[in-house]
Structure 1
């Protein structure tokens, strides 16, 4: 019996699982090497690491594109055999690729999937394309039988932020926009800021990423929050992050204001205006010297590039996905800024799924469960067709 494996192959994490599973397994798309034990950790093996200090990172993705195929094959070997536990020969694969992927990289995807792993068939698409198959009605509060013709997917992930308007589940190509700000840039900027103000953390990507996820938020009023940060007393923004020592603790944590004072062995990282100024780069990339508009302004730009009769429907169906959508205040800030930019007679509706990083995988699962075998033949490419026609058949079927 043919099984369907859904692989959301992100630059930071891989979300993988059979379409019959309730939820995917999330594993880092990375190979780590510890500086102390010199052991190599591949994908899910990262959970076995007990000392995340000064880890050596090896990533298959460079600037958002898969470039190190030897490294990615090693990770996929681990994922297919030990995480998903599938036999490629009796499995069809749904796999995501980056937006605006290069043709040479696409051909490499197809060659490895069919020739090296031998999957029975494959559907290669983008994460936002899978996102539109989700049931957004429950989040928007619409009747279950209504399917919006228009939607805007704002995908803010590890490498980039993309704004993609859709009409009848097809992307409007001329309106797609990219902002070169993602989770990796935010983590790197936080490393630099912390290293300049407090401790040298330039080699501590794993720890600083934890700090970012635990402490950072998107401000609703940057000038007001900056004023609060300058106060010696009554500073409601400052937080203390207790760094792990990797002997008694392996993960850091935010210390509660009413907790007891730290002992001498604890290293404390004081987070003040860094908490909101780092994510502010998503809203104003020009603040860090990038000649690009922020997310709210780019959403307007993308929608204005569509046909005028679609504008109202697009503003009424904006969906925020990706890891950066987890920041507190992210949706509220985008909604507030957009409301000031668009005509008052437009309805503005923005929603964020409970797990914005799993949206593409869940959309792929919904696509498979709601389509028959004959319908799937229209977007899957079989190994037999690939061996006969090569990547040309993939380009024809997978193009959006």
Structure 2
């Protein structure tokens, strides 16, 4: 069984793989793009993709193998296992009768393009392939939803992905490669930083990537006033407004990690911003520092306080954490300044946020505050976060795959066999 168009669309992310059929609104599969093995003897089998999401699977201490490292496909063996599971078991398609639209990282080196083509045509036998990049698909999807928003068919796509963060100018569905600027920070770096902070303060969780990922997604938020929030975080352990416990699986009663009290987690995020009197009403006086004995934690939980906003802070001010890179606002300004002056005001008022890290509460507000002083006064700054930043790229791919001229954009298996990877790839250049 295949989707209406017979085109398989795969957004092959470093963290999550999204797969489905061209023309559909949503993908059929949104699964971890990895394999994992439970701790213990060699008899334990590797779990692949959706098998890691099963209710009865405890991910504690699992060994991970990812096909993608630093944004690029470097392990085709693992990728084959993941695609095999997704294409044959979840999508239930025969690749010989299907075309593939694959979202590939920008500036993918030729050797990795060649390895990808081998996987698509020789291992799986897809009948044709079209390669697209994420920014152009995000622009295509948003422009199809709200065409008036993007005058001059122009936008700046800010993609905070798993491996990287890119600021990419797009003009008439083409990514302007010369204007793309990259930060070597993404969701993976944020998770690793949270692992280090928790391991230093309470439990050793350096091997708990999947659990810390979950804690990060549920508990972290972007601060609009870092010095003020740091002062609040110095309150006594009990009165700290950021204090939340995350419970690790015990393998018996519960197999998944979870937030102990979600109301506590949301308590601070619902407070008015920068209103000293309101904070006092909530019992959050900034001058109350007490040295109470910290309550004992059980062996299977850890507490987060200021880590909740210090982790996303990496994206805005990496230099504060010893990472010698420009922050997100500066990255965006550099991308815009690389473009023609006529495009610059249009790009600043057509910023689209996509990627999982843009889901942190207050992300867009903070970015606007950081950007405004760096942008000329007579330019507007308008930031739109995608309705679903995790699925936005895939949805753009679905629109492209169901367009009338999609077939003419593809390289067929016979063309690949006749001309080889390098010559076929020229079709995807622009």
| Structure 2, unpaired ranges of 5+ | 265-294
Shift of 1:239: 1.8
Match status 1:333 vs 2:337 = no
Instruction: Work out which of the residue numbers 356, 362, 366 in structure 2 matches 1:323.
Output: 356
Which residue is equivalent to 2:8? 5
**TM-score for both structures, normalised by structure 2:** 0.86
Aligned-partner Cα distance in 1 for 2:247–2:394 = 34
**What is the 5 A alignment of 1:311-390?**
311-369=344-402, 371-372=403-404, 375-390=405-420
Which residue is equivalent to 2:235? 231
Distance 1:286 1:31, change over 3 A: same
Which residue is equivalent to 1:280? 313
Aligned-partner Cα distance in 1 for 2:429–2:104 = 12
Which residue is equivalent to 2:216? 212
Shift of 1:69: 1.1
Which residue is equivalent to 2:68? 61
Aligned-partner Cα distance in 2 for 1:192–1:382 = 47
Question: 1:201-223: per-residue Cα shift (whole Å, max 9, x none)?
Answer: 11111111111111111111111
Shift of 1:80: 1.1
Which residue is equivalent to 1:124? 131
2:143/2:153 contact within 8 Å kept = no
Distance 1:120 1:269, change over 3 A: same
Aligned-partner Cα distance in 1 for 2:380–2:151 = 17
Which residue is equivalent to 1:271? 304
Match status 1:94 vs 2:101 = yes
Aligned-partner Cα distance in 1 for 2:221–2:47 = 31
Distance 1:105 1:19, change over 3 A: same
3-state SS in 2 of match to 1:110: helix
Instruction: Work out which of the residue numbers 113, 127, 132 in structure 2 matches 1:106.
Output: 113
**What is the 5 A alignment of 1:285-296?**
285-296=318-329
Aligned-partner Cα distance in 2 for 1:216–1:6 = 31
2:9/2:21 contact within 8 Å kept = yes
Aligned-partner Cα distance in 2 for 1:348–1:174 = 22
CA RMSD of aligned residues (A): 2.2
Aligned-partner Cα distance in 2 for 1:219–1:319 = 20
Question: 1:215-265: per-residue Cα shift (whole Å, max 9, x none)?
Answer: 111111111110100112643222222332221112232233878xx9986
**What is the 5 A alignment of 1:141-180?**
143=148, 148-180=152-184
Which residue is equivalent to 2:259? 254
How many residue pairs are counted as aligned between the two chains? 392
Question: 1:261-312: per-residue Cα shift (whole Å, max 9, x none)?
Answer: x998673321111001011000111122222111111101110111111111
Aligned-partner Cα distance in 1 for 2:205–2:298 = 18
Shift of 1:13: 1.2
Distance 1:258 1:397, change over 3 A: closer
Aligned-partner Cα distance in 1 for 2:81–2:144 = 40
Distance 1:275 1:4, change over 3 A: same
Aligned-partner Cα distance in 1 for 2:195–2:356 = 18
**TM-score for both structures, normalised by structure 1:** 0.92
1:125/1:398 contact within 8 Å kept = yes
Which residue is equivalent to 1:52? 59
